Structure 1
Amino acid sequence: MRDVAENGAGAEAPQSVSEPASSAQTQRKLTQKILIELAIMVALTIPICLYEFAVEPARRGFFCDDESIRYPFKDNTITPVMLGLLVGGLPLLLFVMVEYWRHLRAGEVSSTVQLLGWRMSSWLGELGRQLSYFMFGMLLTFDATEVGKYTIGRLRPHFMAVCQPQMTDGSMCSDPVNAHRYVENYDCAGEGYTIADIRQARLSFPSGHSSMAFYALVYMALYMQRRLPCRSSKMFRHLVQFVLIMVAWYTALSRVMDHWHHWSDVLVGSLIGVLGALITARYIAKFFRMPYGNIILGTGLRRQDTSATLQEVCASTPPPYCANGGYTDEQYCTKV
């Protein structure tokens, strides 16, 4: 009995030691995962910084009589600050509200999880996970937009008003001799405008406002379809989704209205944003994947006892289809 007790006590000790070891291994894997994802975010941010501060857009020529680049300069209806609030502040607010509401309805607001040695609310952990998906897709969309802008270097509709190009011979586009001239070598006088304004005048394609607005707000519409519980009225959720899409649509339209982009710039930018939102929602956040627990096999088929039917079949069916048939090989050959 003593040996059994000693063996039993000795068997329990490794189990108690393995549990902390398993927990430590889980935390270590989680830490590695978070660090890798942060490194990816930084890697995606580097090209944006390089394009914005170190790369000059492609220098394209133009015809002096090109009316598509002779529009007057106007201020932005949707300023960069407003765009930042639309694609950053508004999604953050919706993420917080939806995740808190989900956990409140499930009675899990007070539940906690351990993350990197810190104890935090479970809904905050889920909030961080959803934000990481959103930010990853946004950086991909931003990178794709920047590549297009600096590679193409398309002139904005107000290019002539901002640049005020002057030829190497000192003539201007307003001179009759340059009426149908294609100009490649020129300098921007830009009286009344800064160097940044002149640089921005060569970054028309595709529209960054359109791509970022459509990415952020289409993604939020998909997110709310998947994550927002609305058992009382589904119309409320669809109304919010419609408002989000309309805000993105108005942002895109304002770029043409303000003469900052050609219609094709806005179209391509919007498509980039929508495509980025769909790819992120489908393959990264996996909003459209049906959980395995919700898959019902055999839906619509009624279970019934088929033993009686099999016995009736066995009475007239030769082997090997019926094990109880009692036919010999010779009888089976005659049946065949």
Structure 2
Amino acid sequence: MNMCSKCRSTPVLSTRRDLEGQETSDRHSMRHSRLWTILIDIPLIIIVVALIGLFEIGVIPSHRAGFFCNDQSLAFPYRGDTVSTSVLVSTIFLAPLIVILVTELIFQEQEYNYREKTIASMKNTLWVYRNYIYGMIFNFAVIEIMKGITGSPRPTFFYICEPDTGKTCNGSEFVSTFECTSTRFSKWMQNDSYHSFPSGHTSLSVHCGLFIAWYLQKRAFDWRFRTVFVVPLVQLICISFAAISSLTRITDRRHHWWDVVIGFVIGLFTFLYAAIVLSRGSAINRTEKPISSSIHQSVKSLIYNPRTIDSVSP
């Protein structure tokens, strides 16, 4: 009888050792991943962001496509932006972070204590937001490369740039070389006057709006809730923001319609990249307890479960 009890108690001890070994392995894997992030990922991101910034301020030169004299599609006056660059940038960086964090705090399991709930929410938020930012950086890079290669004039090109050769050319002559002579606009605005294709406002707002709407659908929407309108309302706001940011680029005469169409396609593809490829296996649609807590509970249930004790007793 004593030999039988020893046989039955062995799986409990073995399971405990397996769980402790799994915890050690997970911790080692996390440290290894963080090391690669610090040594490889972060420096690469800094380099890419720095190159984008150097291009934006004109340190890295871009191609100039030229223009036709008296081209009326490039002669619209500049009236400002309905969605300014500052509003766009602050929205695409802050709105997803706030929405994801609030959602994670709300939908964490109720048996968590306050500290565990906060830690788990922040962990999941950073994981999802990281994927979103990676897709956003990819979006930035594609847009800036295409703008630099094409050098397409905006509809407000003549008004902002005031090209020197455009004042002396005749008829429909094509002008391939020019210099901006405007004194009313900054150097950055003059350089930006021939960065029309594709629309950065469109691609970035579409990436942001679709990602938040997708995240809420995967993480927060459930027909069993007392209210099912809150999530669709937030999703509608996100999609509306993307639509307004895109369409006003045409009505403000800041982009041609084809710039907006291609910008939408780029935003759609970077969203799919962040949502499908990068977020595969992420914490979306599931809430996990901290590893140490789950292992502790599993070991406790195996060791102190009354049924287990009864089965191993002589």
TM superposition score normalised by structure 2: 0.76
Task: Give the direction of change, closer, same or farther, for the CA distance of 1:288–1:129 in structure 2 (3 Å limit).
Answer: closer
- Alignment counterpart, residue 156 of structure 2, candidates 147, 150, 158: 158
**Aligned-partner Cα distance in 2 for 1:218–1:57:** 30
User: Quick one: which amino acid aligns to residue 199 of structure 2?
Assistant: S
Letter in 2 for 1:172: K
1:277 aligns with 2:271: yes
The alpha-carbon distance between structure 1 residues 109 and 266, as it changes in their structure 2 partners (threshold 3 A), is farther
Q: Distance in 2 between matches of 1:130 and 1:218?
A: 14
Q: Residue in 1 aligned with 2:111?
A: 107
Alignment of 1:26-65 (within 5 A): 26-35=29-38, 36-53=40-57, 54-65=59-70
The question of whether the paired residues in 1 share the 8 Å contact of 2:52 and 2:141 is answered with yes
C-alpha contact (below 8 Å) 1:109/1:122 kept by paired residues: no
Q: Distance in 2 between matches of 1:41 and 1:208?
A: 19
- Give the 3 Å change call, closer, same or farther, for CA 219–290 of structure 1 in structure 2: closer
> Does structure 1 residue 242 correspond to structure 2 residue 240?
no
Conservation of the 8 A alpha-carbon contact between 1:281 and 1:287? no
- Residue 192 of structure 1 corresponds to 184
1:206 paired to 2:198: yes
Does the Cα contact within 8 Å between 2:66 and 2:176 map onto a contact in 1? yes
Gaps of 5+ in 2: 1-13, 286-314
CA drift of 1:43 comes to 4.2
Q: Quote how far apart the aligned CAs of 1:152 are.
A: 0.4
* 2:137 matches 1:139: yes
Identity of aligned residues (%): 24
Partner Cα separation in structure 2 for residue 289 and residue 126 of structure 1 = 6
**Range 56-65 or range 207-216, more displaced:** 56-65
Give the CA RMSD over aligned residues: 2.9
Correspondence 1:238-317 to 2 at 5 A: 238-286=232-280
1:130 is the counterpart of 2:135: no
Question: CA offsets per residue over residues 52-90 of structure 1, 9 Å max, x none?
Answer: 242122112211121110111111111111102221121
* Equivalent in the alignment of 2:215: 223
Larger radius of gyration: 1
Give the direction of change, closer, same or farther, for the CA distance of 1:21–1:207 in structure 2 (3 Å limit). closer
Q: Which has the higher strand share?
A: 1
TM-score normalised to the size of structure 1? 0.71
Which fold has the larger relative contact order, with Cα–Cα distance below 8 Å and residues 6 or more apart in sequence? 2
Question: Cα distance 1:38–1:186, how it changes in 2: closer, same or farther (>3 A)?
Answer: closer
Specify the alignment match of 2:6 in structure 1. Answer: none
Q: Shift in Å at residue 109 of structure 1?
A: 5.2
Closer/same/farther in 2, CA of residues 257 and 288 from structure 1, 3 Å limit = farther
Which deviates more from structure 2 when the two are superposed, residues 271-280 or residues 222-231? 222-231
Does the aligned pair in 1 maintain the 2:218–2:284 contact within 8 Å? no
Deviation at 1:225, TM superposition (A): 0.7
Deviations 1:203-243 (A, max 9, x none): 10001111100001101111111111543133332222122
**2:102 alignment counterpart:** 97
1:227 and 1:121 mapped to 2: Cα distance? 18
SS at match of 2:114: coil
**1:133 CA drift (Å):** 0.7
SS in 1 for 2:211: helix
On the 8 A contact 1:221/1:245 being kept in 2, the answer is yes
Aligned CA distance change for structure 1 residues 109 and 227 (closer, same or farther; 3 Å): farther
C-alpha change, 1:280 and 1:55, in structure 2 (3 Å) is same
* Residue in structure 2 matching 1:79, options 75, 81, 84: 84
CA separation of 1:288 and 1:97: change in aligned 2, threshold 3 A? closer
What is the CA–CA distance in structure 1 between the aligned matches of 2:219 and 2:105, rounded to whole Å?
Answer: 11
